[in-house]
Structure 1
Amino acid sequence: MAKGKAKGPKGKRITLKMAKNAIRITFDGKRRLDLSKMGITTFPKCILELDFVEEIDLSRNMLKNIPSTIEKFQNLRWLDLHSNQLEELPKTIGTLQKLSYLNICNNKLTTEDLPEELNHLKNLHVLNLGMNYLDSVSTGLEDLQELTELGLFDNALTTIPDFVKNLPKLEKLNVRGNPLADATEEEEHVEPIKRIETLYLVQEKDLCSSCLKMCQDERDKLNKIIDVTPTLSKKPSFPSLLTPNSTAKDNQEEWRVRSNLEVDQDTPQTMTSDSS
C-alpha cells in the first residue's frame, strides 16, 4: 500500500470557548483576541464567530496562510501576524478598510505573494514587511497615503523607490539589512526619516541560536557600558543649603530638652516617672 503524503506538524486545536477566553480589553478599550504563541498551524475557523473584535494577534505561530474569510472582520483595526510561516496573503485583506496596523514581519512572503489589494487599505498607518523575501517594492504602496511607519528591513531589496520616501506622512522607515545597490546614497535619502525601533519581549527558548547569540552579545555590550559609567553618590551633599529635615531635627532636640526641664520643675517631689 502506497504511503500518503507526509503531513506537517499537527498544531494546537483552538475551540470557540478557548478563543472567547483569549479576548482581552486593551488600555484604549479595544477588544483584542490574543492567540499568539499557541502552536497554531491552521487558521482557527471558530474565531470567525468573533467578528466583533477590533484587534487580532496570531503572531509567533506556524500559520502558512490566512483564509479569504478574514474579510468577515470588518471592525478590525489591528492585525499582528509576525513570526509565522506565511507564504501568501488573501486578496480579501484589502476589504479591511478600518485596518490601521498590519504586521507581517518574519514570514516567507515574496513580492509576488503580496496581493495588489493591499493598496486598498487607505487607513493603514503602520505596515511591517520586514524579514521576508521581498526583492522589490510594489507600486501599490504609493496609494497608502496615511502610512507613518514602514518596515522593509532584512529583505532582498536592491533599491528603495522614490515614491516610498515621498509618502506624505511617513515618519519612520527601516530598510536595514537589504543588499542596496548604493547603500550610502540610500541611507542619505532615508536619513531624515526616523527608523522603526519596535521591541518584542520573548523567552530565550523561543529564539534560534543565531538570534540568541546576537541578543546576548548586545546585553554584554550594555553591561560593559553600565560597568564603566560613574555612579552618583546615594546621598548627595549640599553644604550651602539647609534642608527642612535637618532644621526639624534640631528644633525637635531643643524642644525635648526644654520639655524635660519644664516637667522636672512642675513635678512634685513625691512623684516619680517610669518613662525614660
Structure 2
Amino acid sequence: MPKGKGAKGTKVSLKTAKKAIRMTPDGQRRLTLSNMGITTFPKCLLKLTNVDELDLSRNLIQKLPANIGNFSSLRWLDLHSNKLESVPESIGNLVGLTHLNLSNNRLTSAGLPSTLGSLSNLKSLNLGMNQLDTLPPTIAALHSLQELGLFDNLFIKLPEFVTVLHNLTKLNMKRNPLSYAQGNGEGALREKPEPEEDVYLVHDSSLCRTCLKRCKEQRERLTRGGGGGGDVFEDKRIRTYPGLMVPNSVATVNQDGWRIRKVQHKPIKCC
C-alpha cells in the first residue's frame, strides 16, 4: 500500500513501486499504479527504468518529469485520465514505445512536442478527450502507427498528414466540431451535428440503492425487448455484463470499456 494519502495526494515509495511490478503473459515487466490518487509523478519511478509497461492512468497527475525519456525500456505507457496540460520533449527518447495513451487529460496543441514524431515504433496513439485543434506535423513520420484516437477534441478539419500514414487502420475523430465543404461554395460549413450520448459502465457498488434499483428494472425491461415509449435503446439486442450497470456516472472500470453503444434516452444520473 502507498505510504499515505493526504492533501498532497498519495505518496508512492520505491518499495511500493517494486512490489507493484508484475510479469505479463508475454514476459513484459508491467508496473501498475492506476487509480491511486497520485497528484505528483513519483520521482522514485525514475530508478525503475527497466520496466517495459507503465500504467499511471486515472490519477491526478498535472505534470510529467522533464526526464521521462529515461525509461529506455518502455514499450507501453498509459497516462489516461489525469490532469496533464503538456508533455515533455524528452518523450521522444522513448523510441521503443509501441502504445501511448494520453486521453482524457487537459492537453492543448501547444503542449504536444514535435518530438512525438521520433516514436518510430509507435502503433497506437490515443489523444482523445483533450483540448487539441492541431497536431505536430512531425507525427507524419510515425509510419508504424496503426491506431490514432482524436475523439472529443476541438478539430475543425482532419490533419492533412493522416493521408501519408499508410499503416493507419483505425482513426477515431468522433465528437469534434469538424466542418466540411459542400455545394459550390468552397469553404461552406456544415452545421455541427448534435453531440452523441454514450453508455458508461460502472460497477453496481458505485451506485446508491435507488439508482441501482432503477438500473436493474431498466435492464430487465430491455433484455425482454419491452420498455414501451421512447425509453429504449436503439438496438434492443442488449448485451449484459455481470455486476455492471449502465448509468452515466463515474466509471470505475478501465476507460476502454466506457463507451460501448449509442443511446436515445436521457442518461440516468446517480444521485
TM-score (norm 2): 0.67
What's the counterpart of residue 120 of structure 1?
118
Residue 172 (structure 1) aligned to one of 170, 173, 177: 170
What's the counterpart of residue 33 of structure 1?
31
* Correspondences of 1:152-231 after superposition (within 5 Å): 152-182=150-180, 203=203, 225-228=222-225
Residue 119 of structure 1 aligns to a residue whose secondary structure is helix
Judge conservation of contact 2:112–2:135 (CA < 8 Å) in 1.
no
Deviation at 1:166? Answer: 3.7
Q: Counterparts of 2:218 and 2:79 in 1: how far apart (Å)?
A: 31
Does residue 127 of structure 2 align to residue 129 of structure 1? yes
Deviation at 1:177? Answer: 0.6
* Correspondences of 1:39-58 after superposition (within 5 Å): 39-58=37-56
What's the counterpart of residue 242 of structure 2?
none
CA deviation string 1:183-207 (max 9, x = no partner): 999xxxxxxxxxxxxxx97657889
Deviation at 1:130? Answer: 0.1
| Amino acid corresponding to residue 87 of structure 1 in structure 2 | E
CA deviation string 1:72-100 (max 9, x = no partner): 21000000000000011110000001000
Residue 83 (structure 2) aligned to one of 82, 85, 103: 85
Residue 181 of structure 1 aligns to a residue whose secondary structure is coil
CA deviation string 1:147-190 (max 9, x = no partner): 000000000000002321441001111000100012999xxxxx
Q: Counterparts of 2:83 and 2:204 in 1: how far apart (Å)?
A: 20
Q: Counterparts of 1:149 and 1:15 in 2: how far apart (Å)?
A: 34
Residue 12 of structure 1 aligns to a residue whose secondary structure is strand
Identity %: 50
Judge conservation of contact 2:89–2:115 (CA < 8 Å) in 1.
yes
CA deviation string 1:101-150 (max 9, x = no partner): 00000000001100010000000000000000001232121111110000
Unpaired runs of 5+ residues, structure 1, are: 1-7, 186-199, 208-212, 231-276
Judge conservation of contact 1:137–1:160 (CA < 8 Å) in 2.
no
Q: Counterparts of 1:91 and 1:38 in 2: how far apart (Å)?
A: 26
Structure with more helix by fraction: 1
Alignment length (residue pairs): 202
Structure number with the bigger relative contact order (C-alpha 8 A, sep ≥ 6) is 2
Q: Counterparts of 1:183 and 1:28 in 2: how far apart (Å)?
A: 48
| Amino acid corresponding to residue 114 of structure 2 in structure 1 | E
| Amino acid corresponding to residue 227 of structure 1 in structure 2 | R
Q: Counterparts of 2:174 and 2:217 in 1: how far apart (Å)?
A: 23
Residue 93 of structure 1 aligns to a residue whose secondary structure is helix
Q: Counterparts of 1:16 and 1:183 in 2: how far apart (Å)?
A: 55
Q: Counterparts of 2:204 and 2:24 in 1: how far apart (Å)?
A: 26
Distance 1:18 1:206, change over 3 A: farther
Does residue 3 of structure 2 align to residue 19 of structure 1? no
- If you compute each CA radius of gyration, which structure gives the higher value, 1 or 2? 1
Q: Counterparts of 1:140 and 1:52 in 2: how far apart (Å)?
A: 28
Judge conservation of contact 2:70–2:93 (CA < 8 Å) in 1.
no
Distance 1:206 1:16, change over 3 A: farther
Judge conservation of contact 2:76–2:98 (CA < 8 Å) in 1.
yes
CA deviation string 1:2-38 (max 9, x = no partner): xxxxxx9411110011001110111211000101111
| Amino acid corresponding to residue 136 of structure 1 in structure 2 | T
TM-score (norm 1): 0.66
Q: Counterparts of 2:26 and 2:98 in 1: how far apart (Å)?
A: 15
Judge conservation of contact 1:135–1:155 (CA < 8 Å) in 2.
yes
What's the counterpart of residue 99 of structure 2?
101
Judge conservation of contact 1:68–1:92 (CA < 8 Å) in 2.
yes
